[in-house]
Structure 1
């Protein structure tokens, strides 16, 4: 008997993924819409496979991955997300994910990834090599992004999308003061002058 947990805050996405999993003969299919709910269900049900979106409320996907790894649980995790692979694949691998699929792919690709992981293989996209035509500014900005912690990167994207400190604090279960500290640190680390420049930086690097 194989069990799986789908973690995504969009019901339509969960329904589409569930159809694929039913065809793959999973007998127990669980669903969660937030990071907190996912962590609780993983602890209670220990599903064989977790299909995890990164952009979820109340602990994002990277937080969930980190908690699974810290707990020593044996769940296999496949990340299924709209976030840019070049900035997230290595982070997910470090936190123990066995696969990474972009939501822009068709569901057949998801099926292939599920089959690979359930047969003890990993399934990650091949990322393009660094372009020799990349200019010094692009290279420098990529290095800055890579230097951010997982939490810094998540908050950076929230700020760039226009979320307030209060909204971010509530979504990530942090204090307002902690978010404010991250905001100041990000402006310093990314060498920008304001939130407007922070948003431009994110757009330029396809993070929003």
Structure 2
């Protein structure tokens, strides 16, 4: 029997995905609202497909992807996210995802992605072959972002959203000092001198 797990913190989005899955013949559909629930639900219900958002209460979707692969869990993961694929699609592919669909697309794209992934194919959107199609500033900044680790990117986005170091530390189960160190490192890597500039950098690159 076709089974799936929906991982998204928005009930309305989960309901929409459920309708799509039911139309694709899935009979057993489970739901999770945060990353902490995912591994236990996969082990318990053994879904063939996991539809995963990236913007989750910690751990975020990228972290969940890596945990699924590290634990050798037998499921196919399709990312369904509002995050710009320019910065996240390749990371998801490296972490083991079989597809990436943005929430800005029509739900028909999600149907097609589910069909492809369940047939053993990958489903990723076409990206520019090189950064020459971007202007010089965007090109340089994309290269900077690409050089960040997944954890650095996650913390960068949260800082860009205006979250305090303490709140990020609690969500990610890290110390306040560790987040402060990451923040200093990020500012150095991205060539900015304040939290305001970090936010501007994130906003300019559509990360928030």
TM-score after normalising by structure 2: 0.96
Equivalent residues in 2 for 1:1-208, closer than 5 Å:
1-130=1-130, 132=132, 134-208=134-208
| Structure 1 residues without counterparts, runs of 5 or longer | none
Distance 1:160 1:121, change over 3 A: same
SS at match of 1:80: strand
How far is 1:98 from its partner? 0.2
SS at match of 1:101: strand
Contact 2:131 2:139 (8 Å CA) reproduced: no
| Structure 2 residues without counterparts, runs of 5 or longer | none
Distance 1:42 1:27 in 2: 16
SS at match of 2:90: helix
Question: What is the aligned length?
Answer: 208
How far is 1:87 from its partner? 0.2
Distance 1:109 1:190 in 2: 34
How far is 1:71 from its partner? 1.0
Contact 1:58 1:170 (8 Å CA) reproduced: no
Q: Deviation per CA, 1:92-135, whole angstroms, max 9, x where unpaired?
A: 00011000000011111101100110011110000123353644
SS at match of 2:132: coil
SS at match of 1:132: helix
Q: Deviation per CA, 1:169-204, whole angstroms, max 9, x where unpaired?
A: 222222222211111111111111111111111122
Distance 2:137 2:20 in 1: 42
Q: Deviation per CA, 1:126-167, whole angstroms, max 9, x where unpaired?
A: 012335364443322111100000110011011011011122
CA RMSD, Structure 1 to Structure 2 (Å): 1.2
Distance 2:122 2:132 in 1: 29
Contact 2:132 2:139 (8 Å CA) reproduced: no
Where has structure 1 moved over 6 Å in runs of 4 or more? Answer: none
How far is 1:15 from its partner? 0.3
Distance 1:169 1:131, change over 3 A: closer
Distance 1:177 1:131 in 2: 35
Task: Pick which of 165-174 and 19-28 moved more.
Answer: 165-174
